[in-house]
Amino acid sequence: MVFVKAGPGDTSDSVIRKFTKKVIAEGLLLEFKKKEFYVKPSEVRKEAKKEIERRKKARRRARARAV
């Protein structure tokens, strides 16, 4: 739950900006977007596997540059 307290000199715009920053920082928007549509478990596993491969490839490239 995101709470924002308005200070004595805060305008409504500044309070809205603070709220937006907190929502983004806590990752709530990403979570809502992920839950917007149902994703089959097999697709979740497939995406996780792709992500692991992408990270491995990036590590290999970084090591090749370092050598």
Q: What is the DSSP letter of 9?
A: T
Three-class DSSP category at 22: helix
Q: Give the per-residue pLDDT at 2.
A: 87
- Looking at the predicted structure, is the pLDDT value of residue 53 above 90? yes
Binned at pLDDT 50, 70 and 90, residue 66 comes out as confident
- Looking at the predicted structure, is the pLDDT value of residue 1 above 90? no
Three-class DSSP category at 67: coil
Helical H runs in the chain? 12-26, 28-34, 41-66
CA torsion sign for 59, 61, 66, 67 is positive
Q: Give the per-residue pLDDT at 14.
A: 95
- Looking at the predicted structure, is the pLDDT value of residue 61 above 90? yes
Q: Give the per-residue pLDDT at 67.
A: 78
Three-class DSSP category at 5: coil
Average pLDDT of the chain to the nearest whole number: 93
